[in-house]
C-alpha cells in the first residue's frame, strides 16, 4: 500500500510518516501542498492520501475535491489531519467526501483508530 502524506510543515510530515511506519506502512511518499501532491496522485500508484487542510498553493479541501472529481482517483480513501476545528469546515469536508477527520494535536492511537476504520470500511 502506497500512501501520500501532504502537509506544508516538514516536521508534521515526518511525524505522520513515522507513525504510519509504526503501524506497518512502509511505502510512503510526501508533498508540501495540494499543488505538488496532485501531479503525483494523478500519475497514479497511490492507495491512500493523508492531508492537512491549511496549506499555501492548494489547500487540502481543494485537493480532496479534485481527487473526488477525477475518475482515476475518485475512490481513494482520504484522511484529513488538520488544526481546523470549525463545525462548518468538518461538515464541508464530509460533504466533499472525506473518509476521516483528525484534529491536531492528535495521538498515535487516534491515527491508528481512524486508519483501521477507513480500511475496515473499504474492505467491507
Partner 1 sequence: MQNGKERQEFLAKAKQLVANIEANEDVAAAELLSSMSYEREESLFNEVGQLTRQLHDNLADFSIEGQLSSLTDKGIPDAKERLNHVIDMTNEAANTTLNAIDEVLPVTAELQESSDQLLKKWNKFIGRELSLTEFKVMSGEISKFLEASCKNTKFVHTKANEIVLAQGFQDLTGQIIKKVITLVQDVEDSLVDLVRIAGSADQPQAEVNNVKGVLEGPIVPGIEVEGAVNSQDEVDDLLSSLGF
Question: Does residue 64 contact residue 78 with C-beta atoms inside 8 Å?
Answer: yes
- Residues facing 78 on adjacent strands: 49
Cβ closer to partner 1: 10 or 70?
10
Cβ closer to partner 1: 71 or 105?
105
- Using CA atoms, how far residue 64 sits from 11, 88, 114, 116, in Å, is 22, 16, 17, 20
Q: Where on the chain is the footprint of partner 1 (CB under 8 A)? A: 7, 9, 11-12, 14-15, 18-19, 22, 53-54, 59, 83-91, 94, 101-108, 110
Q: How far is it, in rounded angstroms, from Cα 119 to Cα 117?
A: 6
Q: How far is the CB of 51 from partner 1 (least distance, A)?
A: 13
Q: How far is the CB of 29 from partner 1 (least distance, A)?
A: 19
Q: How far is it, in rounded angstroms, from Cα 36 to Cα 57?
A: 9
Q: How far is the CB of 23 from partner 1 (least distance, A)?
A: 11
Cβ closer to partner 1: 44 or 87?
87
DSSP secondary structure letter of residue 5: E
Cβ closer to partner 1: 43 or 109?
109
Amino acid at each position: 500500500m502506497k500512501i501520500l502524506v501532504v502537509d506544508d510543515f516538514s516536521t508534521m510530515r515526518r511525524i505522520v510518516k513515522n507513525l504510519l511506519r509504526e503501524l506497518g506502512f512502509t511505502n510512503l511518499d510526501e508533498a508540501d501542498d495540494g499543488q505538488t501532491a496532485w501531479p503525483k496522485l494523478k500519475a497514479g500508484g497511490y492507495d491512500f492520501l493523508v492531508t492537512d487542510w491549511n496549506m499555501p498553493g492548494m489547500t487540502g479541501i481543494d485537493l480532496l475535491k479534485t481527487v473526488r472529481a477525477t475518475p482515476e482517483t475518485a475512490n481513494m480513501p482520504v484522511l484529513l489531519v488538520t488544526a481546523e476545528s470549525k463545525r462548518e469546515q468538518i461538515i464541508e469536508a464530509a460533504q466533499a467526501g472525506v473518509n476521516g477527520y483528525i484534529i491536531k494535536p492528535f495521538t498515535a492511537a487516534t491515527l491508528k483508530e481512524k486508519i483501521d476504520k477507513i480500511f475496515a470500511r473499504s474492505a467491507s
